[in-house]
Amino acid sequence: MGNKKNELTKIVGSSNVFDDPAILENYSKDSSFCSPMIPRLLVKVNNVNEVQKIVKWANKTNTPLIPVSSGPPHYKGDTVASVPEAVIIDLSGMKKIISINCQHRICIVEPGVTYGELQKALAKEGLTLSTSMAPRATKSVITSILEAEPRLNGLSQWEFFDPLRCMEVVWGDGNRMFTGEAAQGPLDLEKQWASQKWQVAGNGPFSTDFFRMLTMSQGTMGIVAWASLKCEILPTIHKMFFVPAQRPEQLNDFVRRVVRLRFSDELMVVNGFYLASLLGENAKEVKQLKAELPAWVALVGILGRKLLPEERLESQQLDIADIAQQFGLRMTPSLPGISGEKVLNKLINPSDEKCWKETAKGAFEDIFFLTTLDKTTMFIHMAHMMAEKAGYPASDIGVYIQPKHRGSCYHLEFNLPYNPDCTKSTQTAKDFFKKASKEFSDMGAYFSRPYGIWSRLQLNKDAQSTMILKDLKGIFDPNNIMNPGKLAV
């Protein structure tokens, strides 16, 4: 290990290589149910040249690399080593916002940039970026987008991986390249800008969309050094409305019609417990809000930009209210004790360093996958039935349904809070998580982001695709140094 530390020190300097057991212990586990494993070293990088040198060194020494971009805490097990002797390569120090192009509405950022940092810079230029739901303060924007976390404005996703465009990547074999439109020019952004090339189109180069090898891959193919992201014009007016219901199936036809007509900007369905967890500042407040909120509610966000903002908001508000009325529902600007403004601020702004889902009981585990809207009710009923059998309180399951890619599919998420200081509570949640994941998989759930046990559940369904994935892994990472053990290949 001493030789490895010395070799890495030559690349990044002694102040950026760590072997302190206390520091490494923090990277040995996260808040998920994955098995802990202490890495050998932690190395912090500052630029793509250092990344490339480390990847080439790892190939020569056969050293596993675990890329990490977001700050702690972590929740999905993808940043925990699956094999011994691994080196954590921390990219959170790469925090440059390389470019903001207002004309093309494109920004280029490094992997250490968080939502709060980027949104602040974009606002100065009259732009903004769609986010996932209340991302934690330390969350890397690039990681969130590469892992296809559901965006709040799924009706504006013209492609499944919007707002992702071009990238610079160091593949697992140490080769460095640009993807998308950027691949057609020199390996230098400033030279491309001088030639009026702006990294707007994400497809390519040629007929191969290389970004597909990097998205939802948990760092098993390569390391992204920057990404260009499609931005939106900063709204001048933005409001949130509610459509409450007693059962989730009562909202399905309403959501389907709104999606088909392309009304609203944010649109999602949550149950009362999920919304209470988002809004509550402590466990007592979460419990109180849960008792006051409706069992289910569709959240509908409408905004106006520079051109006729009030008229756009008013016309959509009236149209969506009419749709709700057609299905025996009512759209309202507030719920008991809760304003639309409060919910909107919680949704679109970064939360604290810890995830807001910890508020209810201190810890949580999520089960999420893609499905179609008509099947969500079936999964919800099964979750409640299994919870009763497992001894897990069904009323404490949070549910979140989010349209993706203009409603072509839906993100269905079950939030399972538990008390980490209670062995029984933790074990019950863990057992329920495993059994429910298996049952959902058998029912047709598509684990598009296959963390942990989900990788085998999903990949075992399609032997041919698994073989292709292994072949691709062998091409881009021939020595299997990039986060080995993930994706079960």
> Using H for helix, E for strand and C for coil, what is the string for 16-84?
HEECCHHHHHHCCCCCCCCCCCCCCEEEECCCHHHHHHHHHHHHHHCCCEEEECCCCCCCCCCCCCCCC
CA distance 288 to 285: 5
- Parts of the chain belonging to CATH 3.40.462.10: 237-442
If phi over 0 gives left and psi between -120 and 50 gives alpha, with beta otherwise, what is residue 394? alpha
pLDDT at 354: 86
CA distance 100 to 109: 9
CA distance 86 to 110: 24
Superfamily of domain 237-442: FAD-linked oxidases, C-terminal domain (3.40.462.10)
Which of 301, 280, 240, 268 is closest to 400 using CA atoms? 268
- Say which amino acid occupies 229: L
Exposed, middle or buried by CB within 10 Å (0-12, 13-18, 19+), for 101? middle
* DSSP letter for each residue of 416-483: EEE-TT-HHHHHHHHHHHHHHHHHHHHTT-B-SS--TTHHHHHHTT-HHHHHHHHHHHHHH-TT--BS
The residues near 41 (Cβ < 8 Å, ≥ 6 apart) are 1, 4, 5, 8, 17, 18, 19, 24, 87, 88
Task: Name the stretches of the chain with pLDDT < 50.
Answer: none
pLDDT at 287: 95
The residues near 266 (Cβ < 8 Å, ≥ 6 apart) are 152, 153, 240, 299, 300, 301, 344, 347, 348
- Parts of the chain belonging to CATH 3.30.465.10: 1-234+453-489
Name the 3-class secondary structure at 395: helix
CA distance 221 to 215: 9
Task: Domain 1-234+453-489: give its CATH code.
Answer: 3.30.465.10
Which of 295, 251, 270 is closest to 415 using CA atoms? 270
CA distances (Å), origin 367, targets 22, 36, 284, 439: 31, 20, 25, 12
CA distance 360 to 217: 31
pLDDT at 489: 60
Token pair, residue 24, equals: 């490494």
* DSSP letter for each residue of 287-333: HHHHHHS-SEEEEEEEEE-SSSHHHHHHHHHHHHHHHHHHTT---BS
pTM value is 0.96
pLDDT at 488: 65
- Dump pLDDT digits (tens) for 387-439: 999 999 999 999 999 999 989 999 999 999 999 999 999 999 999 999 999 99
